[in-house]
Amino acid sequence: MEKISRTKIVDLLKRRDFGAMVNVKGWVRTRRGSKQVNFIALNDGSTINNVQIVVDLANFDEEMLKQITTGACISVNGELTESIGSGQAAEVQARGIEVLGTCDNTYPLQKKGHTMEFLREIAHLRPRTNTFGAVFRIRHNMAIAIHKFFHERGFFYFHTPIITASDCEGAGQMFQVTTKNLYDLKKDENGAIIYDDDFFGKQASLTVSGQLEGELAATALGAIYTFGPTFRAENSNTPRHLAEFWMIEPEVAFNDITDNMDLAEDFIKYCVQWALDNCYDDVKFLNDMFDKGLIERLQGVLKEEFVRLPYTEGIKILEEAVVKGHKFEFPVYWGVDLASEHERYLVEEHFKCPVILTDYPKEIKAFYMKQNEDGKTVRAMDVLFPKIGEIIGGSEREADYDKLMTRIQELGIPMKDMWWYLDTRKFGSCPHSGFGLGFERLLLFVTGMTNIRDVIPFPRTPRNAEF
């Protein structure tokens, strides 16, 4: 076969210079036809759309043609022609075919529908399906949109450590990082492990959040964001939890809680608009195949102003719903940490649009949140979305050294780990705010997928670290 430089299918399908000789390479999705002519649907991952290769069987070796099965990888030279059939404007009349990689009939992705559960068992192959091709192209586009949004607004991308000796959320559910021989651990007289001979000389873990370091950066650079992997060792086998996920955490000096809410709303709307503008084919495919209301929901989020609702009023609405006979699995009362069903009731049934819940009881929120004058609530905000529940959690931070110290002591957080964080409140403290967005939660919303394991290439969940 003569050497012609390759054209990606996404570009080829836009071309109208019919008669030109082209080369395409990709994986066979299907092959059908008669004794005279075969039609091969070829996909190279650059788009949800396949290109049709028309093969006149008389011109090709029969033994070579036998190798062109579903999943095989081929290179095709041919003439770009106008497509007579519906669907695509362009197709390729094959002049030369080379089989780059054969694929036998044990290939699990034969032409039939597969369940999401089955595809998770072959996560190394699932990117080759239409569904996961679409999801992972959207995932890339969302990452680009996030960097673009912050860069255009003068934020600096700040890399916080993956390995840390502090527990940001006080949740304690952290993965330990060690080089110690676990069969032979040195312990002191109280039975506690001695970490002196460990790599870092102290107990270290994988980060649950880059926020604390992000705050340090914001009090120097003004406005920063982090975007990296985070780890939670929670034994949560739900469709909304992963042990390893990605998080975006902006932190902004001089922003109060209202500025923080404005930023969160602008940010999500920018990302959703980006998906509609740049991933329409993929979004449309997911809309048609999985979730007929997806595009409508995405457009709805862009149109609506998010409702801003104090927690206390939210609880009143939920209590009234209970009185009127609505059944919740979990009880509703002032002071409760809302369950996903409560959040979704407010968003999907009461307001029918995204809700930003504010001013939570301080008991159910982290130590670093700014306390309100009432002494009972803090300037927290959670952005609640249809079908997902909480998609963003954030707050204005406590900038007052004494108040922060008191809260740390009340909660019994070990001071030896927190001295550097407190320095920001000693040396030129300033008001500042930020939030965390779980990247995969955003992707659940944008793709219409229902399980968080289906928006990350290789999910890490309890009892599962395959691939």
Helix (H) or strand (E) holding 311: helix 311-323
Alpha carbon distances (Å) from 434 to 81, 152, 232: 54, 18, 20
Q: What is the DSSP string of 57-71?
A: GGGS-HHHHHT--TT
75, 92 Cβ separation under 8 angstroms: no
User: Token digits for 241?
Assistant: 């939890």
pLDDT tens, position by position, 173-229: 899 999 999 999 999 999 989 999 999 998 899 999 999 999 999 999 999 999 999
User: Token digits for 361?
Assistant: 């009881």
Under the banding of pLDDT at 50, 70 and 90, the label for residue 343 is very high
Kind of pairing, strands 51-56 and 432-438?
Answer: unpaired
Separation between Cα atoms, residue 338 and residue 257, nearest integer Å? 20
Question: How high is the pLDDT of residue 416?
Answer: 75
Helix (H) or strand (E) holding 25: strand 21-33
Which residues lie closer than 8 Å to 282 by C-beta, 6 or more apart?
A: 48, 133, 134, 135, 137, 138
Alpha carbon distances (Å) from 16 to 13, 47, 83, 327: 8, 18, 11, 59
Beta bridge pairs of residue 30: 41
Alpha carbon distances (Å) from 324 to 127, 321, 447: 47, 5, 34
Mean pLDDT of 106-135: 94
Under the banding of pLDDT at 50, 70 and 90, the label for residue 403 is very high
**Which residue has better confidence, 138 or 421?**
138
Alpha carbon distances (Å) from 364 to 136, 210, 311: 35, 20, 12
pLDDT tens, position by position, 266-287: 999 999 999 999 999 999 999 9
Mean pLDDT of 359-380: 95
Reply yes or no on whether the pLDDT at 161 is more than 70: yes
Reply yes or no on whether the pLDDT at 383 is more than 90: yes
Instruction: Report the percent of the chain where pLDDT is more than 70.
Output: 98
pLDDT tens, position by position, 282-314: 999 999 999 999 999 999 999 989 999 999 999
List the one residue out of 406, 400, 361, 407 whose CA is nearest residue 382. 361
Under the banding of pLDDT at 50, 70 and 90, the label for residue 167 is low
Alpha carbon distances (Å) from 380 to 166, 203, 227, 310: 22, 30, 21, 10
Beta bridge pairs of residue 343: none
Separation between Cα atoms, residue 286 and residue 28, nearest integer Å? 21
Under the banding of pLDDT at 50, 70 and 90, the label for residue 166 is low
455, 424 Cβ separation under 8 angstroms: no
pLDDT tens, position by position, 428-466: 999 999 999 999 999 999 999 999 999 999 999 999 999
Question: How high is the pLDDT of residue 189?
Answer: 93
Separation between Cα atoms, residue 108 and residue 125, nearest integer Å? 8
User: Token digits for 326?
Assistant: 């609505």
Helix (H) or strand (E) holding 224: strand 223-231
Secondary-structure breakdown of the chain: helix, strand, coil percentages, each rounded to the nearest 5: 35, 25, 40
Reply yes or no on whether the pLDDT at 170 is more than 60: no
Question: How high is the pLDDT of residue 172?
Answer: 59
Instruction: Tell me the average pLDDT of the chain.
Output: 94
Reply yes or no on whether the pLDDT at 83 is more than 80: yes
Separation between Cα atoms, residue 130 and residue 61, nearest integer Å? 30
Separation between Cα atoms, residue 273 and residue 300, nearest integer Å? 11
Q: Of how many residues is the chain composed?
A: 467
Reply yes or no on whether the pLDDT at 319 is more than 90: yes
pLDDT tens, position by position, 36-58: 999 999 999 999 999 999 999 99
List the one residue out of 232, 251, 290, 295 whose CA is nearest residue 462. 232
Amino acid in position 443: L
Q: Where are the alpha helices (DSSP H) in 78-210?
A: 116-121, 130-152
List the one residue out of 267, 275, 232, 276 whose CA is nearest residue 248. 267
